[in-house]
Amino acid sequence: MHRYFVQLDARTRPECWLAVRTTSTENVRAALGIHRAAPCTWAEGLAGEHEFFISPPVHGWVIVTGQGLPLPSDDVDATFYFLTALSRQLGHVQYFYARRADAHHAWARLDDGCVTRAFAWAETTLWNQGNVTVPETEAGLKLFAYADDAATPAAARHNFERVARLAARWSLDPAEVQGAAAPLASGLAGEAAGT
């Protein structure tokens, strides 16, 4: 079997992605309700042009990205409900969001539908739940309480630049998946039922 290297520039990292602890892309596809799934390369999938892209398994994780993922800056409640429902079906789910234009950012870890850690900022703190994890501290993230005056645009930019570091510590940074971890087999791209 041939293998190829995927080394994406950090600028091509998706703005929003999930890391699901599983080796079954089919389970992820079913949990998202995706129909009309078609093979899709890593580069195409991580570019974010599809409603959903599901990667092949990498070191026990499946990456999901695409325009169908909710953004806490649009609706933090919708993001919470989407993630808890998905985690009830798939177990351990992680969420990462880092939008370059305005430095909005978020991360969350859920197990069996329960939030163990979450933080989201979009001009103000939208979500801060659970105990701060050691990897958050090691990544140098600045965490703000609700209505914290220290949450300046400069502080937000600081966090934005470190979301990928946290992803690499918790699971995977999709821009750094490379080598034998990225098999020739394609991922899947598709739309959720009803769209």
User: pLDDT-based confidence at 177, cuts 50/70/90?
Assistant: confident
CB atoms within 10 A of CB 2: 5
Starting at the edge strand found earlier in the chain, the sheet holding 104-111 runs 34-40, 187-192, 52-54, 61-65, 16-21, 93-99, 104-111, 114-121, 125-130
Q: Could you tell me the residue ranges of all domains in the chain?
A: 10-192
Share of the chain above pLDDT 90, in %: 62
User: pLDDT-based confidence at 4, cuts 50/70/90?
Assistant: very low
What does the pLDDT read at residue 28?
A: 97
Whether the CB-CB separation of 64 and 189 falls below 8 Å is answered with no
Per-residue model confidence as pLDDT tens digits over 35-53: 889 998 888 887 778 899 9
Best mean pLDDT range from 11-25, 64-78, 142-156, 169-183: 64-78
Listed as own residue / partner, the contacts of 183-187 with beta carbons closer than 8 Å and 24 or more positions apart are 183/1, 183/3, 183/56, 184/1, 184/2, 184/3, 184/4, 185/56, 186/39, 186/40, 186/41, 186/42, 186/56, 187/25, 187/39, 187/40, 187/41, 187/42, 187/45, 187/53, 187/54, 187/55, 187/56
Mean pLDDT score across all residues of the chain: 86
Per-residue model confidence as pLDDT tens digits over 73-125: 999 999 999 999 999 999 999 999 999 888 899 999 999 999 999 999 998 89
Residue at token pair 């994890």: 133
User: pLDDT-based confidence at 143, cuts 50/70/90?
Assistant: confident
Q: Is the pLDDT of residue 169 over 90?
A: yes
Contacts of 52 (CB under 8 A, 6+ apart): 32, 34, 64, 65, 66, 68, 69, 189, 190, 191, 192
